[in-house]
Amino acid sequence: MAEHIFNNRYRVLAQVAGGGMAVVYKAHDTILNRVIAVKVLRDTFAQDVDFRTRFQHEAQAAANLGHPNIVTVYDYGQDGAQSYIVMEYVEGRDLKTVIRSEAPLLLDRALDLMIQTCAALGAAHRAGLVHCDVKPQNILVTNDGRVKVTDFGIARALSASVPQNVETVWGTPHYFSPEQATGEPPTPASDVYSLGVVLYEMLASRVPFDADNHTDLALQHLRDEPPPLTALNPAVPIQIEQIIGKAMSKDRTNRYRTADLFGRALLDYRRMTNQATGYQRPIAVPASTGSTTVSATTVRPQTPVAKAQGGTDWLGWILGTLAFVAVVGLLPLFVLVWRAYSQPASPATIPSSPNSIATPVSGTTITPAFGNEVLVPNLIGRTQADAEKLAAANGLQVFLGAGHFDPKAPKGNVVAQNPTVGKKVAKGATIEINLSEGPKVSPVINLLNVIYEDAAEGLQTYGWDVRLVEQYSQDTYHKILAQEPAPGVQLAAGEPLTLTMSGGTTVTLEVNLADLISLDAANLPLDQVRSGEALEATLVWHAQRRVGAPYTVFLHFVDPNGNIMTQIDQEPALPTTSWPISVTIDDPYVLVIPGGAVPGIYQLMVGMYPTGDPFNRLPVVDAGRTSADNNDRILIREIIVRP
């Protein structure tokens, strides 16, 4: 696809992603002079007129959303037999990559990412559009932490194009809702369920449900409750577990109806916790009189009610008693007033009740007092002056400890304290605080041709956000092939350093065929060949259970137009009927590239069928780390035919 220009406007720069449905390229819009992304549908879908029409309608609906957290769709078009969509190019990583490298995420970061995602889905729900395939792979995170949701409507377009008599599943099995598992059309509440699964995964480092096949996974979504999140990650508050539990309710009517409502629940939780640890509004301080607490509000005296008995004139007695009380009661009142004005005022005291909070005129929050002890206030995020002021207001002192480099906290703000917030200490105790020195800035070191594991420990001292990208290569495994930024560039701690390293010549696949055989990987010594040359491929299989019949392996070398240029059909050297259970089988093949193969990007695809029955291929239950087409052909890797 290099040097290709779609409709004489969008010049391809590089391939950035690829899946079973489409390939995504980074490209240059030669008219508007900007970098964009071009998603090109694979030929299997592009040749389906019904799918193409529905997909165009979904693309138009997504283009009308216009939200800062949604990837903008610019254009949709045809270039010969190729259908494509032009979208905003997002510099960053998908959320799945973030989870794999960083999970469990800190609660504050996870909430920030999910609240932005809810804002995007909420805008779609208000516009009457359901995403249908919410998963971390469709949530992009820019280098500055902004969320961009992509692929609106693709799952809906795909499902709508399937014939009526074919059972369809909307979405991705690990993330779809119970109703999607049964084939029902998704609703906004279905997207909310998927969002709950994504947030669960961010905080637990794993999805709530997992199984060896789609059927068992669907049953778990329908019947099982996820493992308690607080058990997997004790740092997660119980309130967050409850919010996620509501989002993942089996009954859609018990969930948040839209992503907006889910996002609002998370926002309310964050506001509540911020208020609990930050500035508190002053409240009325009750005055203690022995064991009885008297409100500051004046209490009206209650008039005793007499019970009528016989013919006694109770009314006269009551009036007489009231007159006596009125006259006699004035005497102590006069005494109290005289004392109040004749004695000097005593200073106000802080009540000892643990539930009372008093706020001085200065606005500094005082933590509850317990006799000669107080609770340590939260000094994190304050300047040194404010921290000293708050500590003094609580009868405590501050000691300045060593500074800490911190890429997020402004220089001079408190980033750590000891004792920690909420600990009970004696009045007059000292709190050690550590101030931020801002991000540590260092020149990027030269890592080219270095084995990553040899440099990993030393990189930690710089505090950079090291991001790893594996690339198929004949170089030594994990040898660093490229880095961004370049050596010598000044880079602050917390900023991304992207290292592209060799993943070797083995392509990990992890494909499940009919719950019978797994294709674990394929070793390709070369992924670039010329016409007439040989392409070697060693497939790595294992039997999930005893294979009772012989199977034939087919390898297809497919050109950019979807035509099979050459193929191999043969039984493995070790027949499938003799494969031991769970023991890997190395299965080598050699394809000769036809002399007429023009330069371009081809696909090497594989599958299996019962020997003698080529039209009854083993179905792909789970495509694992690659993709499969509707003909149960598994994509091993794209192969470049050079001039």
Point out the residues that are catalytic: 133
Closest CA to 130 of 78, 194, 210: 194
Q: What is the 3-state secondary structure of 453-499? A: HHHHHHHHHHCCEEEEEEECCCCCCCEEEEEECCCCCEEECCCEEEE
Closest CA to 196 of 252, 150, 268: 252
Burial 259-273, CB ≥16 within 10 A → b, else e: bbbbbebbeebbeeb
DSSP track, 177-212: -HHHHTTPPP-HHHHHHHHHHHHHHHHHSS-S---S
CB 376 within 8 A of CB 396: yes
For residue 638, give Cα distances in angstroms to 40, 203, 589, 594, 641.
Answer: 15, 35, 17, 16, 10
Spatial separation of the C-alpha atoms in residues 80 and 166, rounded to whole Å:
30
Spatial separation of the C-alpha atoms in residues 501 and 473, rounded to whole Å:
8
DSSP track, 292-344: EEE-SSPPPPPPP-PPP-TT--HHHHHHHHHHHHHHHHHHHHHHHHHHHHHSP
Parallel, antiparallel, or unpaired: how do β-strands 397-400 and 430-435 relate? parallel
Tell me the β-bridge partners of 369: 374
In this structure, which amino acid lies at residue 374? V
Q: Supply the angle between the helices 259-277 and 188-204 in degrees, to the nearest 10.
A: 40
Burial 428-459, CB ≥16 within 10 A → b, else e: ebebebbbbebbbeeebbebeebebeebeeee
Closest CA to 427 of 383, 474, 394: 394
How buried is residue 301: exposed, middle or buried, by Cβ count under 10 Å (0-12/13-18/19+)?
exposed
Closest CA to 23 of 637, 545, 641: 637
Spatial separation of the C-alpha atoms in residues 416 and 395, rounded to whole Å:
20
- Residue 412 CA to its chain's centroid (Å): 31
Spatial separation of the C-alpha atoms in residues 623 and 508, rounded to whole Å:
11
